[in-house]
Amino acid sequence: MSVFEARNRVRWEPGESILPMRTVQKGSWIFGLFAVLFGLAWCLALGLSIVFGTTEEGLRPRTTILLVAMMTPGELFLLFGLYQWRARRRVLLERDCVRVTERGLRGSRSWTEPIANYSGVLQRVVRNRGGRGGSGTTRHEVLLVHDDPRREILLFASLGGVGAEALRERTWRSFAVLLDLPVLRENSTGIVAMQVDDLERPLVERVGGSPRTPVLDPEVQRILGRMLDCRQEPDGVVIRFRRAWTVWRPALGLFVSGGSSRSAAPFAGGILTRPVCGSSW
């Protein structure tokens, strides 16, 4: 982990909490310089080979065509380097809309998108493990998410440092409040949206609301309580079977009672879809 203090690499003016706020995102001059030098060296070496080969041995069409084709990677590096030098994206964030002007090799274009069309503010951690023996890097991001990825806005970016996670979390919440949008969080099932105030509320209040009327027979509920272990975690309610040697007796009792009771009907058809442990799915 880096020892320097974490900071937002996206510089907003006049400040991150003052609307309207603007930023200019540019390409990397260093990467552009290396790409241009590498592309020039590649193309120059092959070009000189073509010239000297033609001078000494005469024109050989097959060899010349092959060398010209091999110049393609160098040309791509040249284009990439020129793009890094010319690329520029101006973002103006207002109370009700986003105004963006983009400039590249093919010219400039501008577009405007209402804030209401954005899904919310998402925080994301991108980890690059690196090669063998490398420590890798961790990039912290906060994004203004849109259905069209080309219209997403990078609000925060940091390559780690002291307090990076806390700064990302604070920026994530502050932008959601500033733009009056929900916060988005990624988990194993996808992206979950909620209001900033809901982050401070207990999970049961967020997803359950008022307790529902039990739909199972009391005897079935008692047996289920002995078979299942319910535990509340930040991402939801985790339900696990208890140890195998303690389950067979209540399971046998449930089977016997289910065969001679009407309580088996709701149990058989609703165990995976009905409320368990006082919460809702």
Report the 3 state secondary structure along 225-269. HHHEEEEEECCEEEEEECCHHHHHHHHHHHHHHHHCCCCHHHHHH
Structure tokens of 81? 């380097």
Mean pLDDT of 113-119: 93
133 pLDDT more than 90: no
**Considering the chain, what is the average pLDDT of its residues?**
75
Mean pLDDT of 213-228: 59
Give the CB-side neighbour count of residue 236, counting CA atoms within 13 A.
11
93 pLDDT more than 90: yes
Give the residue, 64 or 154, on which the prediction is more confident: 154
Task: Supply the pLDDT for residue 275.
Answer: 39
Task: Supply the pLDDT for residue 247.
Answer: 53
Task: Supply the pLDDT for residue 238.
Answer: 62
Domains of the chain: which residue ranges?
Answer: 21-26+87-200, 29-86, 206-270
- pLDDT band, very low/low/confident/very high, at 260 (cuts 50, 70, 90): very low
**pTM attached to this predicted model:** 0.57
Mean pLDDT of 115-132: 82
